[in-house]
Amino acid sequence: MIKMFLPEVSVVVPIYNGERDLPQLIECLRSQIYPPDKVEYILVDNNSRDRTSSILETTAKFDRITIRHLTENQIQSSYAARNQGIHNSKGEIIAFTDADCRPESDWLENLVQPFVNPEIALSAGEILALPGKNILEQHADRQNTLSQKHTLAHPFCAYGQTANLAVRKLVLKTVGLFRPYLTSGGDADLCWRILRETSYKLDFVESAIVRHRHRYTIKQLQSQWYRYGESNKYLHELHGVDLMRELTTQEYCYRLARWLLKELPVAAIKSAIGSSDLVDLFNTPIGLVNVRSRAMGQLRAKLPESAWEIEGF
C-alpha cells in the first residue's frame, strides 16, 4: 500500500454573497477524505450583503471539521480576502478554491501529493464543469472554458487558477502574497512571480478535481469574458504579456456569414437526425460574443496604481 503524503494544510476560500453556494460547498468540505486533524478550512467573507456571515458563524461553531470564519471588509477583492486567510493560516501548504466550486472527496489529498518533492511550490488541479442545462453552459463545457490545461499552456508562463491551486507557504515569504488591489489576474501574477523569480516548479494533478458552475445568462457570460480581457491588460502592464489581437469588423462579418451560410445549415441537419446537439447550432455566435467581450475588457481596463502593491507576509 502506497503511503500518502499528508502535510498540515489550510484551505482558503474567499466568499462574496455566497448564500446560494455555501451549503453545497461546506458539504463538499465535510466529504474530504483528508484527515480532519491535519486540515483547517478558512472561509473569508469579503463584505457580503446577504446571509453569508450568519451561515459561516453557525457552521464554524457546530461543524465536525475545523472551519474558521474570517472577514475582509477593507478591500473589495478576492485576492485581499485570500491574503487575510493566508495571514491567519496554520498549514505549511495553502490550498485555494472558490465558493461556487464543488471539490470531489479526494481533491485535497490528491492536490497536496506533489509537495513531497521539495522543488515543487505550486500544485494545480483540474477544473471541470458542473452539469449544465442551457446552451450557454453546454457551450462552455464543450470548449473546456475553465480547464487548467488552457492556463498551464499560456505562452508567457504556465499558471494555475485559484479555483484549484495550492502553494507552499514558505515560498510566499520570498515573493510576497497576492496583490490585494488587483481585481483580476492575481492567480497568474502570483504563479509567475514564484516560477520566474525562484527555482521552484509547478505540478499539474489532473486527478485533483473541482467542479465549477458555468455562467448561464448572456450578461454573466459577457462579464466573465470582459474580466478575461481586463486580466490580460493588467498582466500586460505588470509582466509585459502580449495583448490579444482584436478581430476586425471584416473578420466578424466573415465568421458570421460563414456560420449562416455553411455551419448553421450543416449543424441543423445533424441536429434534426440526432447526430448533434442544439448547442452545435450556436457555437460560432456565442464564441464571437465571448471574443468581443474580452476585447472590450482589454480595451477599457486601466490598472490602478495601487495594484502594483504586493502584500508582504
Q: List the domain boundaries for the chain.
A: 9-216, 237-301
- Mean pLDDT score of the chain: 92
Q: What is the pLDDT of residue 276?
A: 67
Question: Could you tell me the pTM of the whole model?
Answer: 0.92
Q: What is the pLDDT of residue 282?
A: 85
Closest CA to 284 of 306, 256, 261: 256
DSSP state of 98: -
Segment 169-227, tens digit of pLDDT: 999 999 999 999 999 999 999 999 999 999 999 999 999 999 998 777 889 889 999 99
Exposed, middle or buried: residue 194 (CB in 10 Å: 0-12, 13-18, 19+)? Answer: buried
Segment 52-81, tens digit of pLDDT: 999 998 887 667 799 999 999 999 999 999
| Whether pLDDT at 291 is above 90 | yes
Find out if CATH 3.90.550.10 is the number for domain 9-216: yes
DSSP state of 32: -
Average pLDDT value for residue range 8-22: 96
